Amino acid sequence: MAIMARNYSRLASVEERRNLRRAITYIVLAISGLVLLFFLGIPVIGRFTAFVSDLGKSNKPITNTDKTPPAPPRFNTFPDFTNQNQISLAGTTESGTTIKLTFNRNVIDTLADKDGTFTFSNLTLNDGYNIFFATSTDAAGNNSQQTQEYKIVFDNKPPDLTIESPGDGSTFFGSKQRQITIQGISESGVQITINDRVVVVDDNGKFQYTLTLNEGENKFTIKATDQAGNSIEKDLMLSFSP
């Protein structure tokens, strides 16, 4: 009986040690799991939270952040004066923008192409001054500053031209009368030519030109051309005898 008791006690002791080792192993595994969760689980949770947040944001409507206005449109060269009653205006701006042209208080829109060019064709001019300006509006609704005000003068009437002296058909005699001066008046800003030679015109439209007569008949063509391209011609016949 004593031997059986000792054997049972030995077996119980072995089982207790085995259970203790198992308990220690479980504790170590639990602690290791907590450590791994702390160092690896939190970043993963953070990334997951950010991902969920981004998903939420993706469902929100996209708001426009373009608040930069386009530059004002630029017009190509156009005449300051014209004798044509219609004109076309072209220029450049940002591609895809809408150009609003105010021409003699009438508003006209057009869309710039992919290169940023635009054209307003066959605009009808009023007599005298025609005033216009423009703005650009981009796809986001931003408006440019207004361009300066431009002016085009429409004038299809020839300028006035008066030959004041000498009179048409005049005759001159002798060496002292061989050199004469043609004097006249037109309008300010005109160009005067006498037989295709340009003559100086003052601010009041007056001009004079000194020349030497040839013996016999002398024909002079006086031409006045205004800034719009309208012109008028007058012939002057003078005779000279030595």
* Residues 119 and 97 both lie in one domain: yes
| Any domain includes 199 | yes
| Any domain includes 79 | yes
CA distances, 62 to each of 55, 66, 96 (Å): 14, 12, 21
CB contact at 8 A, 192 and 219: no
Q: Provide the percentage of residues in the chain whose pLDDT is more than 70.
A: 74
Boundaries of domain holding 232: 162-241
| Any domain includes 174 | yes
Residue 35 token pair: 């450590």
Rounded CA separation 94/16 (Å): 88
Q: pLDDT per residue over 217-228, tens digit each?
A: 999 999 999 999
| Any domain includes 69 | no
Q: Tell whether the model's pLDDT for residue 160 goes beyond 50.
A: yes
| Any domain includes 105 | yes
* Residues 54 and 10 both lie in one domain: yes
Helix (H, G, I), strand (E, B) or coil at 13: helix
* Residues 171 and 236 both lie in one domain: yes
Q: Which residue has the higher pLDDT, 50 or 181?
A: 181
| Any domain includes 109 | yes
pTM above 0.75, yes or no: no
What does the mean pLDDT of the chain come to? 85
- How high is the pLDDT of residue 44? 44
* Residues 88 and 58 both lie in one domain: no
Q: Give how many domains the chain has, as a whole number.
A: 3
Q: Which of 116, 138, 154 is the last residue of a domain?
A: 154
* Residues 132 and 85 both lie in one domain: yes
Q: Which of 154, 184, 219 is the last residue of a domain?
A: 154
Q: Which of 120, 154, 188 is the last residue of a domain?
A: 154
Is there a cis peptide before residue 166, judged by omega within 30 degrees of 0? yes
